[in-house]
Amino acid sequence: DGGITQSPKYLFRKEGQNVTLSCEQNLNHDAMYWYRQDPGQGLRLIYYSQIVNDFQKGDIAEGYSVSREKKESFPLTVTSAQKNPTAFYLCASTSVTGESYNSPLHFGNGTRLTVT
């Protein structure tokens, strides 16, 4: 079955350590996204990528970094510069028709990161 795989499901880190969250998709989607979810806040966009080797900052990119070396993979690194990294992180992807991004997003099951 096609889908998006995020790993690990739960991640615990000490403050000051960088940590990388994995996101892999086999849907052949061009566009991929990282969102952060906090209780009562909805989803906030961290980074997105429309094509391999290219990505753009979202609304809350500070303290995060990404790479897009392969179409299938879009890992997110939470750096020590992120002041409040404990959150639920969701990866998503979508197909693109011409210039239109009106196709629905497909989501992974998320990674819950706890930093102490």
Partner 1 sequence: AQSVTQLDSHVSVSEGTPVLLRCNYSSSYSPSLFWYVQHPNKGLQLLLKYTSAATLVKGINGFEAEFKKSETSFHLTKPSAHMSDAAEYFCVVSGGGADGLTFGKGTHLIIQP
- Enumerate binding residues for partner 1 (CB under 8 A): 4, 6, 9, 31, 40-45, 48, 50, 56, 58, 88, 90, 92, 96, 99-102, 104-105, 107-110, 112
Residue number with CB closer to partner 1 (48 or 64): 48
Please list, in sequence order, all residues whose beta carbon lies within 8 angstroms of the beta carbon of residue 9, skipping any fewer than 6 positions away.
109, 110, 111, 112
Residue number with CB closer to partner 1 (9 or 70): 9
> Shortest Cβ distance from residue 26 to partner 1 (Å)?
15
> Shortest Cβ distance from residue 67 to partner 1 (Å)?
18
Q: Are 68 and 32 in contact (CB under 8 A)?
A: yes
Please list, in sequence order, all residues whose beta carbon lies within 8 angstroms of the beta carbon of residue 35, skipping any fewer than 6 positions away.
43, 44, 45, 46, 89, 90, 91, 92
> Shortest Cβ distance from residue 59 to partner 1 (Å)?
8
Q: Are 39 and 23 in contact (CB under 8 A)?
A: no
Residue number with CB closer to partner 1 (16 or 104): 104
